[in-house]
Amino acid sequence: MNATLAAELRKQRSTRTDLTLLLTLLGLGLFAVALHAFSLSPDRLMTVTDQMRVFGWGVLAALFAGIAGAMAITTEFRHGTIRTTFLVTPQRGRVLTAKLGASALTGAALGFAMELVAVVIGSSVLAGRGIDIKITHPDFVRLLLGGALVGALWAAFGLGLGAILRSQVTVLVGLAAWLLFIENLLIAYVPDVGRLAPGQAGFALMGQDPDTLLPPAAGAVVLTAWAALAVISGRVLTARRDVP
């Protein structure tokens, strides 16, 4: 297993995909954090809940982590290299487990990096505007660790979907449409259902919108369940289906 995991990590390091995802994520995150920190009036940044709109942008990494996880396997199906991978390691479950480990590490790095940018930039801007920061140091630690956990779980979720659907375009478009549009509709019109969605569970894990979403611990459980369901389903289907 160690050799298989090392091979998967080498695959990720040998392409520019993860670096491109990281740089794009940090660019968008920097813009989002700065926009909220500068544009919101001081009276809308006085409470912990208000300031979470500035500091809680680690959840932006969810989409990018999901994409990284999905591409870890769909790229191989797209280019046909999955045949070689399964020839070298015929135990397909072992391959999926190694991809899960590599993808989770990548997702955790994306989530942590994004949350670190949010904390550093958000704190600097609010302090520069003379706004008292209500979020404490333990809260910041939970934000950083929460960002890493959301990234890892969403990478696992993306990997599972990639193994189920195999089509790279379908998975990537589906992830973006679901997280950016469908979940927003669900949380707006059917909040009791929407808050159980994987994206909203990630928001809850980070402590966002406590009046609408689940408590952080419950959000972690729900997101873990989604990731486990996707990975287990993808593993079962990968073991049973023919390689294209």
| pLDDT at residue 160 in the model | 96
| pLDDT at residue 1 in the model | 56
Distance CA 87, CA 14 (A): 20
Q: What is the pTM of this model?
A: 0.92
**Residues counted in the chain:** 244
For residues 122 and 55, the answer to whether their CB atoms sit within 8 Å is yes
Question: Running along the chain, 244 residues long, what does each successive block of 10 average in pLDDT?
Answer: 77 78 89 86 82 79 93 91 88 92 94 91 89 84 90 96 94 92 93 94 86 91 97 94 81
